A and B are shown apart, each in its own frame.
Chain A
Amino acid sequence: MDKVYGRSSLLTDNVMHYCPGCSHGTIHKLVAETIEEMGLQSETIGISPVGCSVFAYNYVDIDWIQAAHGRACAVATAVKRLQPDKMVFTYQGDGDLSAIGTGETIHACNRGENIVVIYVNNAIYGMTGGQMAPTTLLGMKTATSPHGREAAIHGYPYKIAEMVSLLDGVCFVTRQSVHSPAAVRKAKKALRRAFENAQAGMGLSFVEIVSSCNSGWKQSPVEANHWMEENMFPFYKLGDLK
């Protein structure tokens, strides 16, 4: 029989520390597969964030720098300007990119740095125990909003992909997911397009991936994927924004 699908050679043998069913594993796999297919293993520098995916460097066999909380886009800017021939991308969660790192992200987008931003939005702080994030949906229960998020007290969730799509430096903004085989295949195509944009020097590409955090949401992995389809997608609509 012919092998039609196997583990990417860019994924290391380390077993990922993520909870069973975590979307991070799937997204790491897509990043590894895309870089492998483009033949850019020795040309790619990833910037890992603070959050669950802080250990991304243990799992994808490329060069990595681990940035201070929220500062991945600033570090990526420096790396890309010093090494313009390299492919530079950041991999950030919503707690990192849309909370403490909002300023760095918006300015990197506005400057149109030739980098790729991979933004994993699971609407919660997973690593620290499921606290409310800026992206938490209204009514969603978290460790710090046990009665559900209320707009009058906590403000509204915000859509950073729509915000950055208004900026001239950004060439490609898309929102994808990895909950089903079709969604995973589409997300991989979006990543490929983003990496190609960065190589062509077209500006910043912003790929948001709406993800599940089954431990933070207190659900099983399969339930979390269903909950995400019913509750996250109506607010965070999938598709290309720019």
Chain B
Amino acid sequence: MAEIKGTINVDRERCKGCGVCLGACPFDVLALSAEVNSKGYPFASQVRAEACTGCANCAVVCPDGCIEVFRKIWKK
């Protein structure tokens, strides 16, 4: 078995808080923030970062291209 760990980087200022990425995540990693960016939008943030596998589903559906995805695989 290999262990997979992922993480994402959200461009907070570009994010419009549409929430499409939240439903695309299979592990409920994402939620909208309580704080807002300079345009007044809440932005996507990782609330269960440890569950992220770097599958990139959130980034693929993001209409504004705000999400970068990183992944590391360890072979056991």
Contact = CB atoms under 8 A, between A and B. Distances in A.
A23 interface: yes
Contacts, number: 84
A225 B21 CA distance: 12
A141 to B, nearest CB: 22
Nearest to B73: A2
Contact of B19 (A3, A8, A19, A21): A21
Contacts of B19: 21, 220-222
B69 interface: yes
A4 interface: yes
Nearest to B5: A1
A55 interface: no
A15 B61 contact: no
- Interface size on B, as a range, is 20 to 34
Chain B contact surface mostly: mixed
B65 A7 contact: yes
Given A5-B67, A11-B65, A25-B63, A181 B57 contact: yes
17 contacts: A1-B7, A1-B72, A3-B68, A4-B6, A5-B67, A7-B65, A15-B64, A18-B63, A19-B16, A24-B63, A25-B64, A26-B62, A29-B65, A178-B61, A180-B24, A221-B19, A222-B23
Interface of A: 1-8, 11, 15-16, 18-26, 29, 178-181, 184-185, 220-222, 225
